Amino acid sequence: MKTEYWTDEYSAYQTLEIEINEGHEHVFYYFGTSEGSKQWFPELTFEDEARPEKLLLELGDGTHDHMYILDLIERKRLVFTWSAGDVRIEIVEAEEDKTLVRFQERLPAAIGNIVEDFAGWYFQLENLKHIAETGELQEVGADALEERKKKVKEELGL
């Protein structure tokens, strides 16, 4: 996976790009529908899939956060609020049966969990690739998560 992390005076940013060995339509299903997204990110669902305006993130304690969908172009792009920032997921058909997923996130620098959030999305995209290609979730070990957090922190200069 190609990764890029940077900061400016107000925000922290990440861009992740991953190639998935499946077709464009197949990949979009996994982040453009509740049924698909629940397979790789079970806590994230569309509030009203027929006319999606919000995503719901289950927090595990019986509560949830609302994320507002800012842009949705079927089979191409999904943009939504995430905490006090935003997330943009785009897919591009690289070649037949290969799809490039480009994930971009911006969070305000004042948020305290940037490193954890960025590392978490890295593994969520790894899960997306794995489930799209094999139909099964990929387990992430605690050591791998800690190593990714170290890399993110170092690259952000935090």
The reply to whether 34 falls in a domain is: no
User: Do β-strands 11-20 and 44-46 pair in parallel, antiparallel, or remain unpaired?
Assistant: unpaired
pLDDT in tens, the chain (158 residues): 999 999 999 999 999 999 999 998 899 888 888 888 888 888 888 776 656 688 888 888 888 888 898 998 887 898 999 989 999 999 998 888 999 999 999 999 999 899 999 999 999 999 999 999 999 988 888 899 999 999 999 999 98
How many domains, the chain? 1
User: Is 83 domain-assigned?
Assistant: yes
Q: What is the DSSP letter of 157?
A: T
Please indicate, yes or no, if residue 94 is contained in any of the structural domains: yes
Burial code (b: 16+ CB inside 10 Å, e: under 16) for 55-68 equals bebeeeeeebeebe
In whole angstroms, give the CA distance from residue 60 to residue 37.
Answer: 17
Residue 57 lies in a domain: no
For residue 152, the model assigns a pLDDT of 97
Residue 29 lies in a domain: no
Look at residue 99 and tell me if it is in a domain: yes
Query: Does some domain include residue 142?
Result: yes
Residue among 43, 36, 54 nearest 91 (CA): 36
16 is in which domain, residue-wise? 2-24+71-156
Could you tell me if residue 110 is inside a domain? yes
CATH number at residue 13: 3.30.530.20
Token pair, residue 18, equals 């991953």
Which pTM value belongs to this model? 0.90
